[in-house]
Structure 1
Amino acid sequence: MKHILLLALMVTAGAVNAQLYFEDFDSYAVGDYISIEGAPAWAVWTAGNEGGDMDAQITDEAALSGNQSLKIFGNLAGGPMDVILVAGIEGAYEVTFNMLVPAGNSGYYNVQENQIPATAWAFDCFLNGDGSMVYSIDQQEVAYASYTPGEWLKLTHLIDTDSDLMHLYLNDEYVTQLPYDGGQIGGVNFYAFGDGTNLPTYYVDDVLVDLTDPVVDNVKLTTPIDCTFGPNPAQEFVRIQANLDNALVRILGLDGKVVLQERRNDLVSGSEFNLDLDNGIYLLEVTNGINRMTQRLVIQK
């Protein structure tokens, strides 16, 4: 197990008990720039912009614990605020932080595979203004979840650079397993970005980096998707019920083109989908990013 910046993290955190790093932002003054007062654990994306528009400041507008947090905000196109919690560690670690995305806003973060920014992205996460969350790897959507805008969300990542796996938990509930092919946990990038419709604004609090047990492959233990739907043939709508809530529902033509796509978090109780499709044979797909169910759907009006 290799620790590249572990000593710096321990010094910054005070090395209390077994925690390698913990930050609640309450030891700073409101208005402090994190890459200046929080260095070397925190940095801006591009060196030389410390204390400028790219840097994030401590605020007392919102907090999960104590009275302060780190505020990230910017414009619809993204930026300019762009800071990183630098790690540069290898092995099995827990990386946990809490985010608050106010109603009417959106948020974003990513994990870098190298402590040098922009070397490689492990994954991206978009917290959309409608409460949906999308995880992507190499610009391909791989997992979906949901959160409540205006409420604090705890995000826990158990990352193992040896097994090349990550387990994701939201509010301490297991969500999914994702591949992690980076040689390092380079750092967490909090960038002022979002869904492109709602202004990016969010708060970060209670950041933890700590050792964890090796992350093992649990995909084989994942419950397969059990899904029923009807009527089939359908006319104006189809009702879908499944054994999971957070999923992506897609309807595809036989040529493979997606003609309808919605992220849903209400499938356990059953949910209706309005259909505006021509007569024909389609494929109905339900996926949670790991498992996938595909069945034939006939539209007959």
Structure 2
Amino acid sequence: MSDSIPPEKLVDHLVDLLTVERTDEAKFVGKPQKDGIGRVFGGQVIAQALQAAQVSVGDSKTAHSLHAYFLRGGEEGPEITYDVATDFDGRSFANRRVVASQLDADGSKRPILNLTASFQTPEPGLEHDEYEMPDVPGPDALESDAQVRQKIVERAGDRMGAAQKATVTRPRPIEIRTAGRLHWMNSEPSEPEAYSWFRAVAPLPDDPALHRAVIAYASDFTLLGTSALPHGLSWMRGELVGASLDHALWFHREARADEWLLYATDSPWSGGGRGFNRGRIFNQQGELVASVAQEGMMRKRVKKPKN
């Protein structure tokens, strides 16, 4: 990790990024990523939309699921507004519908994401855990992805431009340690399965809603790339064109996002220009804390013929 930005400062920036401002009873504003360029990270929009929904519900009920559709790519820089509709408020459950939008050049609203979140008053119930945590090396036995990225940049030398190097090696508030190889690490076809540990790089405030938002933010990492593994292709190497189409997340139990969580992903199918991916998130005690599903556009990049 770069020494220029302390881990605590990176996490402060993440907390600030995921803290939405309430400007009206049903309207919130999300800050842009500091020094962000290009397209907004989908996990950021999901997490900010979830935060808007959580604030509108209050502390009596907790989010147990969300379903989101990406409509258009968001642009880094302009703020994102979140309009929240109260579709249901019951004794045990509540539902919120959120539309994330940015302004076009002509000042008109442009929706970029729709999200629906469901909330429940905590209660005891019948319990079972069907899945055991995969038997993979623990985080202490693995290199961080930041170290792996730095090695890739060093090996690339002049084949990688300065801007690309800066993007690949920029400090991140979420540390990831991968058991095996992600799609951008390897060009050999492999089974559509990936295992990565993740956590915030420094302690987070003791706010369960914020920890759910950070888990939602991190759940968009590594997921779509799982469907690229059987094909030996990568977005980072410019071999694929892709974008997330939808994202679903179920919270099963409370978890801290500043403690190591294992993200086990698999892709049972791809075809028709799309890839389908699933994820299971475990704590270090082996308990399933969340489940994820996502489908994304995935097309092989066609090289334009030279004139």
Whether the TM-score (by the shorter chain) exceeds 0.5 is no
TM category, shorter: under 0.3
Compare the two structures and name the one with the higher helix fraction: 2
| TM-score, normalising length: structure 1 | 0.27
| TM-score, normalising length: structure 2 | 0.27
Give the number of the structure whose alpha-carbon radius of gyration is greater: 1
